[in-house]
């Protein structure tokens, strides 16, 4: 009989933590041992000895750059994944072995967790924009609002916002003007189309 891999989620928002927990509990071979929603995670996590720790990087105090080193020393053998649903500085994300995005399906999460456990190495996610993300980027560069983009592509405003967050995460560009320049330089839009 094989034992399930133990996962601890460090996430302050109950709805997100609960949704992720339900998705992981549906994946064979994994179980969520605990969800920690406060800043005292280090003291609470060590006795649990998880195989994988999924943490919202926004919970890490920006002054504690050595967070993962400290966690690794206190939890030898544990692997760390970032749970991302907002902009996080790329240099922070690089410290994690894998990134679980809020838009990932259960199947994609299962693949990422399996690769992480099998290799123990960083699971590199493509930073290339998807076709839909390119469409949204072009619309943003043309000056369209989220609502107009949603109507044009028959999406919810929430989905448009998620695509914009993914575009920002993948490109590292936060401003509309920066994204417009990116779109022009990558031949996604002609300069004459920009208002």
pLDDT tens per residue across span 134-157:
999 999 999 999 999 999 999 999
Query: pLDDT tier at 120 (50, 70, 90 boundaries)?
Result: low
Any idea what DSSP says for residue 53?
Answer: E
pLDDT confidence of residue 2: 59
pTM of the complete model: 0.63
pLDDT at 125: 57
Sketch the domain layout of the chain as residue ranges.
Answer: 5-119, 131-193
The answer as to CATH 3.40.50.2300 being correct for domain 5-119 is yes
Q: Are 84 and 101 in contact, with CB atoms under 8 Å apart?
A: yes
Domains 5-119 and 131-193 share a fold: no
Q: What is 131-193's CATH topology? A: Arc Repressor Mutant, subunit A (1.10.10)
pLDDT digits 0-9 by tens, 91-100: 777 778 788 9
User: CA 145, CA 148: separation in Å to the nearest integer?
Assistant: 5
Asked if 32 and 21 count as a contact pair (C-beta separation under 8 A), the reply is yes
Alpha carbon separation from 116 to 76, 139, 171 (Å, rounded): 15, 36, 24
């Amino acid at each position: 009989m094989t034992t399930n891999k133990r996962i601890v989620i460090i996430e302050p928002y109950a709805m997100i933590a609960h949704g992720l927990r339900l998705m992981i509990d549906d994946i064979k071979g994994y179980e969520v041992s605990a969800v920690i929603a406060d800043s005292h995670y280090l003291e609470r996590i060590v006795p649990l000895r998880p195989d994988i720790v999924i943490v919202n990087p926004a919970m890490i105090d920006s002054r504690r750059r050595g967070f993962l080193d400290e966690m690794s020393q206190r939890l030898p053998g544990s692997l760390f994944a970032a749970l991302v649903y907002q902009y996080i500085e790329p240099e922070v994300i690089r410290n994690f072995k894998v990134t679980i995005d809020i838009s990932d399906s259960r199947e994609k999460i299962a693949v990422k967790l399996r690769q992480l456990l099998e290799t123990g190495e960083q699971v590199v996610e493509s930073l290339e924009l998807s076709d839909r993300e390119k469409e949204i980027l072009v619309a943003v560069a043309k000056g369209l609002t989220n609502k107009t983009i949603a109507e044009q592509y028959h999406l919810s405003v929430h989905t448009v916002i998620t695509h914009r967050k993914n575009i920002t995460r993948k490109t590292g560009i936060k401003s509309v003007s920066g994204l417009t320049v990116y779109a022009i330089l990558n031949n996604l839009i002609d300069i004459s189309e920009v208002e």
